[in-house]
Amino acid sequence: EAQVTQNPRYLITVTGKKLTVTCSQNMNHEYMSWYRQDPGLGLRQIYYSMNVEVTDKGDVPEGYKVSRKEKRNFPLILESPSPNQTSLYFCASSAGTAKETQYFGPGTRLLVL
Amino acid sequence: GQQLNQSPQSMFIQEGEDVSMNCTSSSIFNTWLWYKQDPGEGPVLLIALYKAGELTSNGRLTAQFGITRKDSFLNISASIPSDVGIYFCAAQWGNFNKFYFGSGTKLNVKP
């Protein structure tokens, strides 16, 4: 089954404790992206990747890092999480020629205390 | 960043009614998209629009890319209970790899 998976689905952590949210897709998609969803703000793009070793900033990249060492994986790293990074995070992927048809993962709900 | 103003924020309608929602911006976009998000899940693409003035349907859904390239609307005809969810507009501008989303319209349908 074609899908985007994220782990963990729920995470409670404390300020400053490094964490990684994994994202994996099994569709051989070139394009992958991370979003955060906050009430009243919709989804905001954090980072995206056009292909292996090619990443670029979205609209709200501050406080986040990403890497794309393999085509299927696109982890989101919070080196020093802060409470304002409490949010619902979505990973998405799409084929390079149809980037608008993004397939979203189920989401990761993060609470930073 | 770019801002998409989506309205209404929420709607409470009776099953069978038609629904209309829209997105406006002060910026020009190359692509307009409409997504639906069910509770506890990620958004799913409903309709993609690529040209100013384009009108596209997907079953009971119809969306249009505004002629000024600064707005789009989504209509749902004869709503049913499974239409319940949050609908998001999204747009791409210039760099086709960046996406901007509206704040969402929460739709409630009473059977």
Chain A residues touching residue B102 (CB < 8 angstroms):
42
| Rounded-to-integer distance, Cα A76 and Cα A20, Å | 6
| Rounded-to-integer distance, Cα A43 and Cα A58, Å | 11
Please tell me which residue, A58 or B96, carries the higher pLDDT value: A58
| Rounded-to-integer distance, Cα B68 and Cα B111, Å | 37
For residue range A9-20, list pLDDT tens digits in order: 999 999 999 999
Chain B residues touching residue A60 (CB < 8 angstroms):
1
**Residues A56-91 as b or e (16 or more Cβ within 10 Å = b):** eebbbbeebebbbeebbebbbebeebeeebbbebbb
| Rounded-to-integer distance, Cα A73 and Cα A58, Å | 18
Phi, psi for residue A97 in degrees, rounded to 5: -90, -5
CB atoms B1 and A50 under 8 Å: no
Write down the mean pLDDT value for chain B.
93
CB atoms B97 and A56 under 8 Å: yes
Judged against a pLDDT cut of 70, whether residue A109 lies above it is answered with: yes
User: What's the pLDDT score for residue A101?
Assistant: 81
**Residues A24-39 as b or e (16 or more Cβ within 10 Å = b):** bbeeebbbbbbbbbee
**Cα–Cα nearest to B32, from B41, B24, B43, B40:** B24
User: What's the pLDDT score for residue A40?
Assistant: 85
Q: How far is CA B55 from the centre of its chain?
A: 13
SS3 of residue A94 by DSSP: strand
Judged against a pLDDT cut of 70, whether residue A99 lies above it is answered with: no
User: What's the pLDDT score for residue A1?
Assistant: 80
For residue range B37-90, list pLDDT tens digits in order: 998 899 999 999 989 999 999 999 999 999 999 999 999 999 999 999 999 999
Report the gap between the CA of A41 and the closest CA in chain B (Å): 5
* Pairs of CB atoms within 8 A across A/B: 60
A42 closest CB neighbour out of B41, B96, B103: B103
Report the gap between the CA of A60 and the closest CA in chain B (Å): 9
CB atoms within 10 A of CB B42: 22
- Report the percentage of chain A scoring pLDDT > 70: 96
Closest CA in chain B for residue A92: B42
Q: Which residue has the tokens 């989101």?
A: A76
User: What's the pLDDT score for residue B40?
Assistant: 87
Residue B42 forms contact with A (CB below 8 Å): yes
User: What's the pLDDT score for residue B93?
Assistant: 75
Residue A94 near residue A102 (C-beta atoms within 8 A): yes
Residue A76 near residue A20 (C-beta atoms within 8 A): yes
